[in-house]
Structure 1
């Protein structure tokens, strides 16, 4: 078993900014579970939450089409995906020159399966696990200079089992909310409202997540509550979010250690909130 073992919860095959593995116990403590239910994730990201929660069904949504293409490829043919992806994890490919060649290959191709394979390679070889695109849609994360990037074989295997019960949406979070039905449970991990608004960065897919988007998400949660759906939302604790979630039924506050600056070595404890819009039915 490697240092990225599965011994302490299930890891995603992907590195992902703001992943929720460290705070899953807080999420589990607040997230409702009633009977046989479906978990809906409008911002699925790397998937740490659904990978560690046992529901009968999953509806996974994200604006990142490459991420969803990877999930679809793993679901359709996990052994083939693992075999094809492993070919990129070689000593020869772990150089800056080869990384930038493969990054350009990724940006030049429109083949969704080929992009899914390269997406995993870029994610594991790129700087600090970032997922970032420029305004033209080109992936632009620099080379990470890791001694030996980890190939997530066990994580792909576990992901494939979970995805047997999953359906997918590529698009805005509102599209996921349009599909909810009574009894569903929704967990939302949107790009966080900034603590320091002068250093805001939420544009992982080339589109900023604004205050208006944050308000729109709350409106979706309130509308879903009227349909018999409970929604849990994660965010930073700020003056803005205090006001934003004033209509929530439950607030859980906790501290978590995160990097909150461009200097990845600067990690401080920040306050986070879980706001629950509970189905009272």
Structure 2
């Protein structure tokens, strides 16, 4: 079956692992994703309803706008995707405009522009909440029109929420399935991307997520699947779950040698 790509680039995106994730995702009426990211799992599954959440307000605002006015958004966003705007000076001007803007629609347009033009499609903010990823220096920029249209069509089944994983997971009732894709336990200190948004996701949060998953699965008979790196820590955190090991390639690395195969795990609470 042909897989659908997300319209955003995303660190830790699940496009390459979709087949393995869907193999272990239980059936149900509604899928809840507390860490939706670019939405690859949402785009490649077939539930009746979706509750899709993230703590990144810009991301959820963008998704909500595309759900309601996809064609207007595409027409306006296209105006930013020109050869003149794929230059360092223009990029930093738009980045500054984004950081100063308080208009949700303008920020949504600029968020897409920054995502496709910045280094490796990273989404990172400084302690003041300013987007601070540098210019990506791509020769050619792809405008993801068909991917946006597909997302907008599928989004008619979805409710988007800006909120914490604790808040969103507590919305689960029988018939719901939860898929959690938290910021991963780093394999080394140099690969720590957990501060991709203003509030990082440390080991205490990782443990809290595992305990909450265990509790909700037991109390409400709601199956929960969590993905993460396969490490000593994650094996300990998810010791009450059924563990499946999957192999993937590192998606972000500064040196070419870093793009090697690594083990991830899928922890299923049911």
Normalised TM-score (structure 1) = 0.92
1:234 and 2:227 correspond:
yes
Aligned residues: 269
* Conserved 8 A contact 1:260-1:268: no
1:266 and 2:266 correspond:
no
Residue matched to 1:4: none
Post-superposition Cα deviations, 1:29-79, rounded to whole Å, max 9, x if no partner, equal 111014xx1010000000001000011000011011000011000011111
1:23 and 2:5 correspond:
no
* Conserved 8 A contact 2:250-2:262: yes
1:224 and 2:212 correspond:
no
- Cα distance, 1:223 vs. partner? 2.2
> CA–CA distance in 1 between the matches of 2:13 and 2:162?
19
1:95 and 2:78 correspond:
no
Residue matched to 2:113: 121
For residue 158 of structure 1, the aligned residue among 125, 150, 153 is 150
- C-alpha root-mean-square deviation of aligned residues, in Å? 1.4
Normalised TM-score (structure 2) = 0.96
- Cα distance, 1:234 vs. partner? 0.1
> CA–CA distance in 2 between the matches of 1:15 and 1:151?
12
Runs of 4+ in 1 over 6 A off after TM superposition: none
Say which structure is richer in helix: 2
Post-superposition Cα deviations, 1:179-217, rounded to whole Å, max 9, x if no partner, equal 111110000000011112454231111222111101111
For residue 4 of structure 2, the aligned residue among 10, 13, 37 is 10
Residue matched to 1:275: 267
Ranges in structure 2 where 5+ consecutive residues have no aligned partner: none
1:175 and 2:167 correspond:
yes
* Conserved 8 A contact 2:55-2:163: yes
